[in-house]
Amino acid sequence: MMVRKFSILLFALGITSGVFAQFGKKPVDMQDYQYHHEASGGLRLQSNGVTLFGEYGWIKDLKTTRLLQVEYTYDIDYRMKKDKAQIQDGRDYFYGLQNHFHVIRVSYGIKRTIAEKADHNGVRLTFVGFGGIALGLLKPYYLNIQQSDSSLNAVPTRYTPATASQFLDQNHILEAAPIRYGLNQIQPVPGLTAKIALDFDWGIKDEFVKALEAGAVIDIYYKRLPIYANNYNRFYQFGVYLSFQFGKRW
């Protein structure tokens, strides 16, 4: 349902921007266009996390730009809620979380203008498509587990088949362990990524990139990602997003 609503939104925004972009004079020829490169970066709010990204573009003509993009995503399941620690001033914890998941993407893509902006204002509407590699990073999640009913002594514990009964027993979970635990046990998971979007550039001057982008991204890995200590893990990650992007052309 969410994907359907998002598709309708993209379609409506595309039509609206296309109508407004038709007003004003025709764009100049490429031989008179002074910009051939662009660099930008921004923040992306996804349905499954938060992303920071940067990209470099080669402007081929008035309608086409080739792009190289690097991204970092911190995966967030917004449905998960923290449980209260059992000790005073303790760190609240995510019950059933096995690994924190991070993604680094490097992808190559194209930006193709659908409708130009007006002479002095308006919005340039472009289609954006990317494909590339995704490197997933699994960082083990540790909990401080009470070792006996008569003692509050805790041992930082990660989820394994051997520790499953302790890790999932909320009666013995005292709090989340400090974030430093698991840093030396990060596991890489390679995969592929693809992204499509509509880009709305409202910058008054072509020298500056000021854009809002709405789209969808999917990462596919060679195995199921052990993020949760249950059977809900998948071999792919899909999300819709809205990004804010700023940069410069020269």
Most confident stretch, 9-23, 65-79, 225-239: 65-79
Strands 187-201 and 124-140: antiparallel
Q: What pLDDT sits at residue 150?
A: 59
C-alpha 21/C-alpha 122 separation (Å) is 6
**Domain residues of the chain, as ranges?**
2-81+103-139+185-249
Q: Name which of 202, 212, 136, 145 is nearest 176 in CA terms.
A: 145
pTM: 0.83
| Bridge partners, 231 (sequence order) | none
pLDDT, mean over the chain:
87
The mean per-residue pLDDT over the stretch 168-188 comes to: 95
C-alpha 23/C-alpha 119 separation (Å) is 8
Q: What percent of the chain has pLDDT over 90?
A: 72
**Higher pLDDT residue, 17 or 78?**
78
**CATH number attached to the domain at 2-81+103-139+185-249:** 2.40.160.20
**Higher pLDDT residue, 13 or 154?**
154
Binned at pLDDT 50, 70 and 90, residue 120 comes out as: low
Q: What pLDDT sits at residue 180?
A: 95
C-alpha 2/C-alpha 74 separation (Å) is 21
Residue 228 is classified by DSSP as B
Q: Name which of 136, 135, 131, 137 is nearest 69 in CA terms.
A: 131
**Higher pLDDT residue, 154 or 213?**
213
The mean per-residue pLDDT over the stretch 9-38 comes to: 52
Q: What pLDDT sits at residue 232?
A: 82
Q: What pLDDT sits at residue 25?
A: 42
Distance of CA 2 to the CA centre of its chain: 17
**Tokens read off for 223:** 């195995």
**Tokens read off for 79:** 């449905």
Strands 37-46 and 208-221: unpaired
